[in-house]
Structure 1
């Protein structure tokens, strides 16, 4: 063994810790919900993507158990060999119908969906114009592709138009604008109505990562594009957030695009098929989200977000503007974010400090997230805890 390698690893870990950037793992001893068990006690949970509160829903849980009972633990193979089960086709059809697309391809993770969409569809003659705040998985997916890359400042339509002009002037065969539908660290919602207008003007395609939108933004929770009332070419998403909280990703698109991806997308071709339990739980979550109960859950979610945002602003905290249930509490310093999160846990609220490289240096924060499962009383308790911690640590 080369001692110098391990010395370097230990030194890098020590440097991460000295900067206050170490990201601790806290062990949860309960199912996901508005109250979870951490370190031997029940605490309020305000740090989860469980937007509709379905991750711990008994119906979603039982649907997963029943699917596993029928189909077993898994297919033990990739899809094109002997890994495609009837329930995979049922889930592909269900999410395509729910989101209003012709077809769907499933992936083991949403990261894989974004990692697999660009390389099979775009080559050296093409151009990808990407928002600067896009998720790491989009960035990595673009890197795997040989298309020419352009970048525009977050939701800056003037700069986007400039990049589109540059791509057209360079003779791009196809141009695709890639953006998060809702930006996960900030809670900003993409300006897809304006992006649609520019895409039409410059004959560009639109790809949207709707992981933090599917299930609760727009009519029936169909996502950010439905929120703006526009159509897009490709949507990537996940079953790991609002739609049951398990795992797995997907791409929705026209049927011929999905057919090509099933022949060429490497994360699809070389990863085991989704487990039946994930498929069963996700199907039940889609059923709930797409029906009248979903409307009630969405109304409760946004009422919770409005109440929390107003109370935290009144208490003096620096929040990023928006209406999304992601509500970042901006703190700036990485160590301060970790200290506030630790104190909040002592006060009975589970939140996490976010710092570099998850967010830019100097923009450390606690990303709080609302759920339809939260009560107003729980929100008020959390604001009170933040107020106590904020005063003690001189944040407010």
Structure 2
């Protein structure tokens, strides 16, 4: 990241020299968590207040000065480039609605607050009141909103979370990568097959309903279990795997027009088209796009050891080396600041994490010859990878570029270490405890 960087949009050939209008522009910096697109600094300040509840959205913004400018929640969901926006005449500016209903709910959740849903009641700031006989459309609007927030994907508005296919790449947002990552479980209806549980919605699985594949919470029924179970077969289109529906064995998981269905090879429905059926029903299962198994809140934190006898000791930097030290709230300010790091999206992968020094901004914990050190970022791919750690169950921090190694304290020094290896720091004794951490409030 540098102020010397330049962003250029160029056009050649026909139309060169003419005006180019950009309809949707987003510049999103480090976010508080993987989902929500919430500015890390602002959401951290909100979380620090420990709010009990959060109104979604605020009253004046909800009402508008006239009905046409109220918060029409249905216009604030779905692809941001398709949201019309509205004039926020309560406060005098145009709202793009790129920050919509779902973002408000995530803002409340990530701050630890209970969202309190506000619905339009037919009253506006200019004093107009909708007659009772004309209120039905707004009552239905409120009911639909409640269904969107709380309903399963077997409901009309809850189904807006239905499965689709999207282009996901290394540069995609962490939220998109998270949506595209699933935990492969033994089949709910048969252990010889598989069920796909959402990484970011534990307990919710891909299941088919009316042949459309959706994400839904497991209700424990035999029907749900069968609908959410798929059996692996050789790829219909060549190398890869095809996933056969457990209870409709002539149908396979298929993408069609960017939607996901269970489809037969030929039929009356459009998604049963024989064209490209074999290729569309063939998949490759690989490393998940979202590399972390657990989420760690962004912002300033300290890392405390969990090894018995060392639970009063924290990760800190000292003389540019990572060490484990006994530190408390009464320790000198320098010691406490040395043991405080800004948890930011991973420099090499935004689904993992990097640890930036509080008192030396721009310097990160990175491994070098397996030893963990504090060093200034040189912007290289090697540095970024060395300074990136993926959070695994525990919480344990896996080295991004040495995935069999985890952040470990050994003899009060910090290393990346494997469980049994040639180096002393790979000693298997206490390995799991030494590589497990508690993410605490910042010491400094």
On whether the aligned pair clears a TM of 0.5, the verdict is: no
Which structure has greater strand proportion? 2
Which structure has greater helix proportion? 1
Which structure would you say has the larger Rg? 2
The TM-score with structure 1 as length reference comes to: 0.26
The TM-score with structure 2 as length reference comes to: 0.24
